[in-house]
Structure 1
């Protein structure tokens, strides 16, 4: 039987991933979008944070979205976690430099760029829920940096369609893109009766999930922390899971 892909990212990001998945595997792949969080941006906080900043740090497109009403100085540097975020920042007028897809790699990218001593600080525009302290790590390495919350990732419960899917007999593939989304969806995965196949974008997400359920989920970590690697992981799990049922 055909497995269903359950997408729990915020609605816009889930829709974009669903489009990419259908382009890769065909339009017949069943996809259910059921966000476990919604993004609420704070444009005023973003505008204040950019005043006097020497550059911006973005670890999510959501941080860029929060700058929608900010006056971005022409050519203001922006260090971005990966190419998707860099593309969004470039569209807002930032002079972007892209990292390899994770915070540790981005910190290395910033260090390699050699931020000048005495220059105005870099500002990490991030969400209310973060893993680690990127600005603190940079400051400890002698790079002037500070962090500012410019959006919130507000939890929302899984809808009835998603709960029914997890209670069923058909296999379900669940891509997880952040430790927070993993923690939010974990209680429902614990109760799931459906055979589960989980794709985690990083080891940190797999660790945050920590699911022990009757479904005995298979967890596969993407080869790299980016959308393309997640597409590959989900495609592989979907193809392997489409003939499983209880």
Structure 2
């Protein structure tokens, strides 16, 4: 039994999906240009505990964008990233996450990569288009694509949110993409849910019947399930030691 099949068998029988995802590649996989070195990525804290961010009007995409861009420039970087399981105040601005019917959702389930509008997005591994949709709620994903993957018989999904409208204009369900193919570009604030340009990248084990959408933010009561169903995307990207 080769090492990938062995790790696949172990992961599924121990119900350790995160271990399986981490085993897919020992090298970093890329959703942005592979020629951008890790030294040009800088982590950013957008949590509710960041006192510096608390001084920013995060209801304004322009002011939040200034905060992010200044952070990138100070570190002589090109991309700011982070946010997995981060509790954020930014979602308070939208009834999509914060209403009286359900528990407030403010825990981020993917990783965000903040960079320039129209930045190309690449397939990190081979996949086919599972679904796509323009999620137009205020504060939502905007144009969104979900890819389906199969490795050693195991099916899982990756979600790409805050894309440009052109990214989903000519997509087809079942369309194939190879690793390193350009699959999309980033949208601007007018289409991406009113955020500074960035990619929301998320791994999903069980898609639960969703099409073109999947929760990217959860509340405390659902965190255990979503943490298991949506492991840390850094297991693929390997931008930081996990």
**TM-score range relative to shorter protein:** under 0.3
Larger Rg: 1
The alignment's TM-score, normalised by the length of structure 1, stands at: 0.28
The alignment's TM-score, normalised by the length of structure 2, stands at: 0.28
The structure where helix makes up a greater share of residues is 1
